Structure 1
Protein backbone atom coordinates (compact mmCIF):
# COMPACT_ATOMS: atom_id res chain seq x y z
CA UNK A 1 0.00 0.00 0.00
CA UNK A 2 1.29 3.46 -0.89
CA UNK A 3 2.07 5.59 2.13
CA UNK A 4 -0.04 8.74 2.50
CA UNK A 5 1.25 12.19 3.40
CA UNK A 6 3.02 11.90 6.77
CA UNK A 7 2.36 14.82 9.13
CA UNK A 8 2.59 15.76 12.80
CA UNK A 9 -0.09 14.72 15.27
CA UNK A 10 -1.29 18.32 15.41
CA UNK A 11 -1.69 18.56 11.63
CA UNK A 12 -3.45 15.17 11.56
CA UNK A 13 -5.91 16.37 14.21
CA UNK A 14 -6.85 19.40 12.10
CA UNK A 15 -7.59 17.13 9.10
CA UNK A 16 -9.45 14.65 11.28
CA UNK A 17 -11.73 17.34 12.71
CA UNK A 18 -12.52 18.57 9.21
CA UNK A 19 -13.54 15.05 8.24
CA UNK A 20 -15.53 14.68 11.48
CA UNK A 21 -17.69 17.65 10.45
CA UNK A 22 -18.46 15.87 7.16
CA UNK A 23 -19.20 12.59 8.98
CA UNK A 24 -21.63 14.35 11.32
CA UNK A 25 -23.39 15.98 8.36
CA UNK A 26 -23.68 12.57 6.69
CA UNK A 27 -25.15 11.07 9.88
CA UNK A 28 -27.75 13.84 10.05
CA UNK A 29 -28.64 13.31 6.39
CA UNK A 30 -28.94 9.56 6.94
CA UNK A 31 -31.26 10.17 9.90
CA UNK A 32 -33.40 12.44 7.73
CA UNK A 33 -33.57 9.87 4.90
CA UNK A 34 -34.45 7.12 7.39
CA UNK A 35 -37.31 9.27 8.67
CA UNK A 36 -38.57 9.71 5.10
CA UNK A 37 -38.35 5.94 4.61
CA UNK A 38 -40.55 5.36 7.66
CA UNK A 39 -43.14 7.74 6.22
CA UNK A 40 -43.49 5.93 2.89
CA UNK A 41 -47.08 4.88 2.08
CA UNK A 42 -47.99 1.19 2.26
CA UNK A 43 -49.41 -1.14 -0.40
CA UNK A 44 -51.81 -3.90 0.64
CA UNK A 45 -50.85 -7.27 -0.86
CA UNK A 46 -53.57 -8.87 -2.93
CA UNK A 47 -51.92 -12.32 -3.15
CA UNK A 48 -51.65 -15.01 -0.51
CA UNK A 49 -48.10 -16.20 -1.23
CA UNK A 50 -47.27 -19.75 -0.17
CA UNK A 51 -43.61 -20.75 0.14
CA UNK A 52 -41.88 -24.02 0.96
CA UNK A 53 -40.26 -24.02 4.38
CA UNK A 54 -38.48 -26.49 6.65
CA UNK A 55 -41.76 -27.20 8.47
CA UNK A 56 -43.82 -27.52 5.29
CA UNK A 57 -45.80 -24.99 3.24
CA UNK A 58 -45.73 -21.51 4.77
CA UNK A 59 -47.89 -18.52 3.93
CA UNK A 60 -46.17 -15.15 3.92
CA UNK A 61 -48.15 -14.39 7.08
CA UNK A 62 -46.42 -17.31 8.81
CA UNK A 63 -43.00 -15.73 8.25
CA UNK A 64 -43.93 -12.97 10.71
CA UNK A 65 -43.66 -15.54 13.53
CA UNK A 66 -46.07 -13.56 15.68
CA UNK A 67 -44.44 -10.19 15.07
CA UNK A 68 -45.90 -7.20 13.25
CA UNK A 69 -42.92 -6.43 10.98
CA UNK A 70 -40.99 -8.66 8.58
CA UNK A 71 -37.76 -8.19 6.65
CA UNK A 72 -37.21 -10.56 3.72
CA UNK A 73 -33.81 -10.80 2.07
CA UNK A 74 -34.10 -11.93 -1.57
CA UNK A 75 -31.10 -14.26 -1.92
CA UNK A 76 -29.94 -15.08 -5.47
CA UNK A 77 -30.19 -18.85 -5.92
CA UNK A 78 -31.50 -20.11 -9.27
CA UNK A 79 -32.99 -23.63 -9.18
CA UNK A 80 -30.27 -24.83 -11.58
CA UNK A 81 -27.34 -23.52 -9.51
CA UNK A 82 -25.35 -25.77 -7.21
CA UNK A 83 -24.29 -22.92 -4.91
CA UNK A 84 -25.98 -19.73 -3.80
CA UNK A 85 -24.66 -16.40 -5.08
CA UNK A 86 -21.31 -15.56 -3.50
CA UNK A 87 -22.20 -11.88 -3.13
CA UNK A 88 -25.49 -12.72 -1.39
CA UNK A 89 -23.51 -15.16 0.77
CA UNK A 90 -21.15 -12.31 1.63
CA UNK A 91 -24.17 -10.32 2.81
CA UNK A 92 -25.68 -13.33 4.62
CA UNK A 93 -22.48 -13.81 6.61
CA UNK A 94 -23.34 -10.44 8.16
CA UNK A 95 -26.80 -11.55 9.33
CA UNK A 96 -25.31 -13.71 12.08
CA UNK A 97 -25.80 -12.32 15.56
CA UNK A 98 -28.27 -9.60 14.60
CA UNK A 99 -31.45 -11.63 14.35
CA UNK A 100 -32.08 -11.96 18.09
CA UNK A 101 -31.91 -8.16 18.39
CA UNK A 102 -34.39 -7.68 15.53
CA UNK A 103 -36.80 -10.05 17.25
CA UNK A 104 -36.58 -7.94 20.40
CA UNK A 105 -37.80 -4.96 18.34
CA UNK A 106 -40.88 -6.74 16.92
CA UNK A 107 -39.14 -7.56 13.61
CA UNK A 108 -39.06 -11.02 12.05
CA UNK A 109 -36.43 -11.93 9.47
CA UNK A 110 -36.42 -14.53 6.70
CA UNK A 111 -34.54 -15.31 3.52
CA UNK A 112 -36.32 -16.33 0.30
CA UNK A 113 -34.84 -17.85 -2.86
CA UNK A 114 -36.20 -19.65 -5.89
CA UNK A 115 -34.02 -22.77 -5.57
CA UNK A 116 -35.76 -25.89 -4.18
CA UNK A 117 -35.80 -26.22 -0.41
CA UNK A 118 -33.43 -29.20 -0.32
CA UNK A 119 -30.70 -27.15 -2.03
CA UNK A 120 -31.29 -24.21 0.27
CA UNK A 121 -31.08 -26.36 3.39
CA UNK A 122 -27.92 -28.14 2.24
CA UNK A 123 -26.21 -24.85 1.41
CA UNK A 124 -27.35 -23.24 4.66
CA UNK A 125 -25.86 -26.11 6.66
CA UNK A 126 -22.62 -25.94 4.68
CA UNK A 127 -22.30 -22.21 5.38
CA UNK A 128 -23.17 -22.61 9.05
CA UNK A 129 -26.11 -20.17 8.97
CA UNK A 130 -29.11 -20.41 11.28
CA UNK A 131 -31.64 -18.05 9.67
CA UNK A 132 -34.98 -19.26 8.27
CA UNK A 133 -34.80 -19.89 4.52
CA UNK A 134 -37.81 -20.45 2.28
CA UNK A 135 -38.21 -21.54 -1.33
CA UNK A 136 -40.34 -19.54 -3.77
CA UNK A 137 -39.91 -22.16 -6.51
CA UNK A 138 -43.67 -22.64 -6.96
CA UNK A 139 -44.67 -19.08 -6.09
CA UNK A 140 -44.86 -15.74 -7.91
CA UNK A 141 -43.25 -14.05 -4.90
CA UNK A 142 -39.78 -13.49 -6.40
CA UNK A 143 -41.17 -12.43 -9.77
CA UNK A 144 -43.62 -9.99 -8.22
CA UNK A 145 -40.84 -8.33 -6.25
CA UNK A 146 -38.58 -8.18 -9.32
CA UNK A 147 -35.72 -10.36 -8.14
CA UNK A 148 -36.31 -13.36 -10.44
CA UNK A 149 -36.64 -13.07 -14.20
CA UNK A 150 -38.09 -15.33 -16.86
CA UNK A 151 -36.13 -15.92 -20.10
CA UNK A 152 -38.37 -13.61 -22.13
CA UNK A 153 -37.83 -10.83 -19.59
CA UNK A 154 -34.06 -11.22 -19.76
CA UNK A 155 -34.23 -10.99 -23.55
CA UNK A 156 -36.22 -7.77 -23.55
CA UNK A 157 -35.02 -6.05 -20.41
CA UNK A 158 -36.23 -6.55 -16.85
CA UNK A 159 -37.59 -4.23 -14.18
CA UNK A 160 -34.89 -3.98 -11.53
CA UNK A 161 -34.32 -1.31 -8.90
CA UNK A 162 -37.53 0.38 -10.08
CA UNK A 163 -36.12 0.82 -13.59
CA UNK A 164 -37.94 -0.98 -16.46
CA UNK A 165 -35.93 -2.17 -19.43
CA UNK A 166 -32.79 -2.93 -17.42
CA UNK A 167 -30.36 -5.32 -19.07
CA UNK A 168 -29.57 -7.99 -16.49
CA UNK A 169 -27.08 -10.82 -17.03
CA UNK A 170 -28.64 -13.61 -14.93
CA UNK A 171 -32.04 -14.90 -13.86
CA UNK A 172 -31.75 -13.83 -10.22
CA UNK A 173 -31.07 -10.48 -8.53
CA UNK A 174 -30.49 -9.41 -4.92
CA UNK A 175 -32.87 -7.29 -2.90
CA UNK A 176 -34.64 -6.75 0.40
CA UNK A 177 -38.30 -6.11 1.13
CA UNK A 178 -40.15 -5.03 4.26
CA UNK A 179 -43.70 -5.93 5.24
CA UNK A 180 -46.15 -5.10 8.02
CA UNK A 181 -48.97 -7.34 9.24
CA UNK A 182 -52.14 -5.87 10.71
CA UNK A 183 -54.59 -8.63 11.53
CA UNK A 184 -55.13 -10.62 8.34
CA UNK A 185 -53.81 -7.83 6.13
CA UNK A 186 -50.19 -7.67 4.94
CA UNK A 187 -48.67 -4.48 3.55
CA UNK A 188 -45.53 -3.93 1.52
CA UNK A 189 -43.73 -0.89 2.93
CA UNK A 190 -40.25 -0.85 1.37
CA UNK A 191 -37.86 -2.58 -1.02
CA UNK A 192 -34.26 -1.87 -1.92
CA UNK A 193 -31.84 -3.35 -4.44
CA UNK A 194 -28.28 -3.10 -5.77
CA UNK A 195 -26.20 -0.52 -3.83
CA UNK A 196 -29.13 -0.03 -1.47
CA UNK A 197 -27.99 -3.27 0.16
CA UNK A 198 -24.58 -1.86 1.10
CA UNK A 199 -25.79 -0.95 4.58
CA UNK A 200 -26.32 -4.66 5.31
CA UNK A 201 -22.65 -5.46 4.76
CA UNK A 202 -20.78 -4.96 8.00
CA UNK A 203 -17.54 -6.04 6.33
CA UNK A 204 -17.78 -3.12 3.91
CA UNK A 205 -18.40 -0.73 6.79
CA UNK A 206 -15.18 -1.92 8.44
CA UNK A 207 -13.20 -1.75 5.18
CA UNK A 208 -14.43 1.80 4.58
CA UNK A 209 -12.62 2.81 7.79
CA UNK A 210 -9.23 1.63 6.54
CA UNK A 211 -6.71 3.41 4.26
CA UNK A 212 -7.03 0.61 1.71
CA UNK A 213 -10.82 0.84 1.64
CA UNK A 214 -12.67 -1.86 -0.27
CA UNK A 215 -9.81 -2.29 -2.74
CA UNK A 216 -12.20 -2.81 -5.63
CA UNK A 217 -10.85 -0.28 -8.13
CA UNK A 218 -9.79 -1.98 -11.34
CA UNK A 219 -11.75 -5.18 -10.69
CA UNK A 220 -14.11 -6.55 -13.31
CA UNK A 221 -16.98 -5.71 -10.92
CA UNK A 222 -17.17 -4.53 -7.34
CA UNK A 223 -17.40 -7.89 -5.57
CA UNK A 224 -15.09 -9.84 -7.89
CA UNK A 225 -12.77 -10.54 -4.95
CA UNK A 226 -15.50 -12.08 -2.77
CA UNK A 227 -15.58 -15.85 -2.25
CA UNK A 228 -17.88 -18.19 -0.37
CA UNK A 229 -16.31 -18.14 3.07
CA UNK A 230 -15.19 -21.78 2.79
CA UNK A 231 -13.37 -21.09 -0.50
CA UNK A 232 -10.83 -18.48 0.48
CA UNK A 233 -7.20 -19.46 0.32
CA UNK A 234 -6.40 -20.76 3.84
CA UNK A 235 -3.28 -18.58 3.83
CA UNK A 236 -5.59 -15.56 3.64
Structure 2
Protein backbone atom coordinates (compact mmCIF):
# COMPACT_ATOMS: atom_id res chain seq x y z
CA UNK A 1 0.00 0.00 0.00
CA UNK A 2 1.32 3.42 -0.92
CA UNK A 3 2.81 5.57 1.82
CA UNK A 4 2.61 2.72 4.33
CA UNK A 5 5.13 1.77 7.00
CA UNK A 6 5.32 -1.73 8.50
CA UNK A 7 5.23 -1.55 12.29
CA UNK A 8 7.96 -3.92 13.46
CA UNK A 9 10.40 -3.68 16.33
CA UNK A 10 13.21 -3.39 13.75
CA UNK A 11 11.64 -0.29 12.19
CA UNK A 12 13.75 2.76 13.17
CA UNK A 13 10.55 4.78 13.26
CA UNK A 14 8.93 2.37 15.74
CA UNK A 15 9.04 4.85 18.63
CA UNK A 16 7.46 7.63 16.58
CA UNK A 17 4.76 5.29 15.25
CA UNK A 18 4.04 4.08 18.78
CA UNK A 19 3.01 7.60 19.72
CA UNK A 20 0.62 7.55 16.75
CA UNK A 21 -1.40 4.85 18.53
CA UNK A 22 -2.90 7.71 20.47
CA UNK A 23 -4.32 8.95 17.16
CA UNK A 24 -6.91 6.17 17.24
CA UNK A 25 -8.79 5.77 20.50
CA UNK A 26 -9.96 2.21 19.80
CA UNK A 27 -6.40 1.08 19.13
CA UNK A 28 -5.14 2.80 22.26
CA UNK A 29 -7.86 1.09 24.34
CA UNK A 30 -6.93 -2.42 23.14
CA UNK A 31 -5.39 -4.79 25.68
CA UNK A 32 -1.64 -4.24 25.45
CA UNK A 33 -0.87 -7.89 24.65
CA UNK A 34 -3.45 -7.92 21.84
CA UNK A 35 -2.11 -4.70 20.37
CA UNK A 36 1.43 -6.11 20.50
CA UNK A 37 0.28 -9.26 18.69
CA UNK A 38 -1.39 -7.16 15.98
CA UNK A 39 1.60 -4.87 15.58
CA UNK A 40 3.52 -6.89 12.93
CA UNK A 41 0.40 -7.03 10.73
CA UNK A 42 -0.44 -3.32 10.95
CA UNK A 43 0.62 -0.59 8.59
CA UNK A 44 0.19 3.16 8.66
CA UNK A 45 -1.09 4.79 5.49
CA UNK A 46 -2.15 8.22 4.25
CA UNK A 47 -5.75 8.40 3.00
CA UNK A 48 -6.74 11.02 0.42
CA UNK A 49 -10.11 12.75 0.24
CA UNK A 50 -12.53 10.84 -1.95
CA UNK A 51 -10.73 7.50 -1.67
CA UNK A 52 -13.16 4.57 -1.67
CA UNK A 53 -11.95 2.08 0.93
CA UNK A 54 -14.49 -0.54 -0.07
CA UNK A 55 -17.64 -0.59 -2.18
CA UNK A 56 -21.00 -2.33 -2.22
CA UNK A 57 -20.68 -6.10 -2.53
CA UNK A 58 -16.89 -6.19 -2.26
CA UNK A 59 -15.20 -8.65 0.07
CA UNK A 60 -13.77 -6.50 2.86
CA UNK A 61 -10.17 -7.67 3.28
CA UNK A 62 -8.79 -4.73 5.30
CA UNK A 63 -9.88 -3.06 8.51
CA UNK A 64 -9.12 0.66 8.85
CA UNK A 65 -8.55 2.53 12.10
CA UNK A 66 -8.57 6.26 11.22
CA UNK A 67 -6.37 8.70 13.12
CA UNK A 68 -7.09 12.39 13.60
CA UNK A 69 -8.14 14.26 11.55
CA UNK A 70 -9.23 11.49 9.17
CA UNK A 71 -12.97 10.96 8.74
CA UNK A 72 -14.67 8.26 6.69
CA UNK A 73 -18.35 8.12 5.73
CA UNK A 74 -20.30 4.89 5.45
CA UNK A 75 -22.77 5.48 2.65
CA UNK A 76 -25.90 3.69 1.54
CA UNK A 77 -26.00 3.68 -2.27
CA UNK A 78 -29.40 3.65 -4.00
CA UNK A 79 -30.05 1.79 -7.29
CA UNK A 80 -29.95 5.11 -9.17
CA UNK A 81 -26.52 5.95 -7.74
CA UNK A 82 -27.46 8.43 -5.02
CA UNK A 83 -25.56 8.28 -1.73
CA UNK A 84 -26.78 8.98 1.81
CA UNK A 85 -24.55 8.79 4.86
CA UNK A 86 -25.45 6.16 7.46
CA UNK A 87 -22.50 6.73 9.85
CA UNK A 88 -19.25 8.61 10.30
CA UNK A 89 -16.05 7.01 11.58
CA UNK A 90 -13.03 8.90 12.83
CA UNK A 91 -10.36 8.48 15.47
CA UNK A 92 -12.81 6.84 17.85
CA UNK A 93 -13.23 3.63 15.88
CA UNK A 94 -12.71 1.32 12.95
CA UNK A 95 -14.48 0.15 9.81
CA UNK A 96 -14.35 -2.87 7.56
CA UNK A 97 -15.03 -6.37 8.94
CA UNK A 98 -15.33 -5.07 12.49
CA UNK A 99 -17.19 -8.07 13.93
CA UNK A 100 -17.99 -10.52 11.12
CA UNK A 101 -15.88 -13.59 10.43
CA UNK A 102 -15.22 -15.33 7.12
CA UNK A 103 -16.46 -13.66 3.94
CA UNK A 104 -17.34 -10.00 4.55
CA UNK A 105 -19.30 -8.51 1.64
CA UNK A 106 -19.80 -4.77 2.13
CA UNK A 107 -23.37 -3.50 2.25
CA UNK A 108 -22.38 0.12 1.72
CA UNK A 109 -19.56 2.29 0.42
CA UNK A 110 -16.79 3.72 2.61
CA UNK A 111 -15.45 7.07 1.35
CA UNK A 112 -12.78 9.28 2.92
CA UNK A 113 -14.27 12.73 3.61
CA UNK A 114 -11.37 14.29 5.55
CA UNK A 115 -7.86 13.15 4.55
CA UNK A 116 -5.25 11.94 6.98
CA UNK A 117 -3.52 8.87 8.41
CA UNK A 118 -5.05 5.51 9.28
CA UNK A 119 -3.82 2.19 10.56
CA UNK A 120 -4.64 -0.78 8.34
CA UNK A 121 -4.74 -4.44 9.35
CA UNK A 122 -5.82 -7.48 7.32
CA UNK A 123 -9.32 -8.39 8.46
CA UNK A 124 -8.43 -12.08 8.60
CA UNK A 125 -5.61 -11.29 11.03
CA UNK A 126 -7.95 -9.23 13.20
CA UNK A 127 -10.37 -12.17 13.25
CA UNK A 128 -7.57 -14.40 14.54
CA UNK A 129 -6.66 -11.93 17.26
CA UNK A 130 -10.28 -11.58 18.39
CA UNK A 131 -10.46 -15.33 18.89
CA UNK A 132 -7.10 -15.42 20.64
CA UNK A 133 -7.85 -12.47 22.94
CA UNK A 134 -11.47 -12.48 24.21
CA UNK A 135 -11.07 -8.96 25.62
CA UNK A 136 -10.26 -7.69 22.13
CA UNK A 137 -13.31 -9.43 20.72
CA UNK A 138 -15.45 -7.85 23.44
CA UNK A 139 -14.03 -4.40 22.65
CA UNK A 140 -14.94 -4.67 18.96
CA UNK A 141 -18.37 -6.12 19.73
CA UNK A 142 -19.17 -3.15 21.95
CA UNK A 143 -17.87 -0.80 19.29
CA UNK A 144 -20.14 -2.45 16.70
CA UNK A 145 -23.05 -1.88 19.07
CA UNK A 146 -22.20 1.83 19.21
CA UNK A 147 -22.11 1.96 15.41
CA UNK A 148 -25.59 0.43 15.22
CA UNK A 149 -26.80 3.07 17.68
CA UNK A 150 -25.34 5.83 15.50
CA UNK A 151 -27.09 4.44 12.42
CA UNK A 152 -30.42 4.07 14.23
CA UNK A 153 -30.20 7.63 15.52
CA UNK A 154 -29.38 8.89 12.02
CA UNK A 155 -32.57 7.30 10.69
CA UNK A 156 -34.63 9.06 13.35
CA UNK A 157 -32.80 12.35 12.82
CA UNK A 158 -33.32 12.32 9.06
CA UNK A 159 -37.03 11.69 9.53
CA UNK A 160 -37.81 14.08 12.38
CA UNK A 161 -35.43 17.02 12.42
CA UNK A 162 -34.89 20.12 10.31
CA UNK A 163 -32.07 20.58 7.82
CA UNK A 164 -30.42 23.13 10.12
CA UNK A 165 -30.52 20.74 13.09
CA UNK A 166 -29.13 17.90 10.99
CA UNK A 167 -26.40 20.15 9.60
CA UNK A 168 -25.41 21.18 13.14
CA UNK A 169 -25.37 17.55 14.26
CA UNK A 170 -22.99 16.59 11.46
CA UNK A 171 -20.73 19.57 12.10
CA UNK A 172 -20.51 18.60 15.79
CA UNK A 173 -19.54 15.06 14.86
CA UNK A 174 -16.94 16.34 12.41
CA UNK A 175 -15.59 18.83 14.97
CA UNK A 176 -15.18 16.01 17.51
CA UNK A 177 -13.02 14.09 15.06
CA UNK A 178 -11.05 16.95 13.49
CA UNK A 179 -8.98 17.88 16.54
CA UNK A 180 -9.19 21.56 15.60
CA UNK A 181 -11.82 24.20 14.87
CA UNK A 182 -11.36 23.83 11.11
CA UNK A 183 -13.52 21.11 9.54
CA UNK A 184 -12.15 20.40 6.07
CA UNK A 185 -15.05 19.58 3.81
CA UNK A 186 -17.10 21.21 1.09
CA UNK A 187 -20.75 22.12 1.33
CA UNK A 188 -21.33 19.84 -1.64
CA UNK A 189 -19.91 16.88 0.28
CA UNK A 190 -22.07 17.75 3.29
CA UNK A 191 -25.15 17.94 1.08
CA UNK A 192 -24.35 14.56 -0.47
CA UNK A 193 -24.00 12.94 2.93
CA UNK A 194 -27.27 14.44 4.15
CA UNK A 195 -29.07 13.44 0.96
CA UNK A 196 -30.20 17.00 0.12
CA UNK A 197 -29.49 19.65 -2.49
CA UNK A 198 -26.36 21.76 -2.08
CA UNK A 199 -28.48 24.92 -2.11
CA UNK A 200 -30.33 23.61 0.95
CA UNK A 201 -27.10 23.17 2.89
CA UNK A 202 -25.81 26.55 1.67
CA UNK A 203 -28.93 28.26 3.03
CA UNK A 204 -28.52 26.59 6.43
CA UNK A 205 -24.82 27.48 6.53
CA UNK A 206 -25.58 31.12 5.78
CA UNK A 207 -27.94 31.30 8.77
CA UNK A 208 -25.34 29.76 11.07
CA UNK A 209 -22.65 32.08 9.73
CA UNK A 210 -24.86 35.15 10.17
CA UNK A 211 -25.35 34.15 13.82
CA UNK A 212 -21.59 33.90 14.39
CA UNK A 213 -21.57 30.12 14.89
CA UNK A 214 -19.48 29.09 11.89
CA UNK A 215 -17.38 30.68 9.17
CA UNK A 216 -17.39 29.02 5.76
CA UNK A 217 -14.58 29.20 3.26
CA UNK A 218 -13.82 27.17 0.18
CA UNK A 219 -13.44 23.55 1.20
CA UNK A 220 -13.60 24.23 4.94
CA UNK A 221 -15.87 25.25 7.79
CA UNK A 222 -14.52 26.94 10.90
CA UNK A 223 -16.41 26.35 14.15
CA UNK A 224 -16.53 29.72 15.92
CA UNK A 225 -18.88 28.92 18.81
CA UNK A 226 -19.22 25.26 19.80
CA UNK A 227 -21.77 25.90 22.55
CA UNK A 228 -24.10 27.76 20.23
CA UNK A 229 -23.72 25.00 17.66
CA UNK A 230 -24.72 22.44 20.30
CA UNK A 231 -27.80 24.47 21.23
CA UNK A 232 -28.88 24.73 17.60
CA UNK A 233 -28.42 21.01 16.95
CA UNK A 234 -30.98 18.34 17.76
CA UNK A 235 -30.48 15.94 20.65
CA UNK A 236 -29.15 13.18 18.39
CA UNK A 237 -25.45 13.96 18.68
CA UNK A 238 -25.56 14.07 22.47
CA UNK A 239 -27.52 10.83 22.72
CA UNK A 240 -25.10 8.94 20.48
CA UNK A 241 -22.11 10.26 22.41
CA UNK A 242 -23.67 9.34 25.76
CA UNK A 243 -24.32 5.80 24.54
CA UNK A 244 -20.75 5.54 23.26
CA UNK A 245 -19.37 6.58 26.66
CA UNK A 246 -21.49 3.94 28.41
CA UNK A 247 -20.49 1.15 26.04
CA UNK A 248 -16.82 2.08 25.68
CA UNK A 249 -15.68 4.04 28.73
CA UNK A 250 -12.04 3.08 28.13
CA UNK A 251 -12.21 4.48 24.57
CA UNK A 252 -14.01 7.64 25.70
CA UNK A 253 -11.39 8.18 28.41
CA UNK A 254 -8.58 8.03 25.84
CA UNK A 255 -9.91 11.23 24.27
CA UNK A 256 -8.15 13.09 27.04
TM over 0.5: no
**Superposition TM-score, scaled by structure 2 size:** 0.24
More helix by share: 2
Structure showing greater radius of gyration is 1
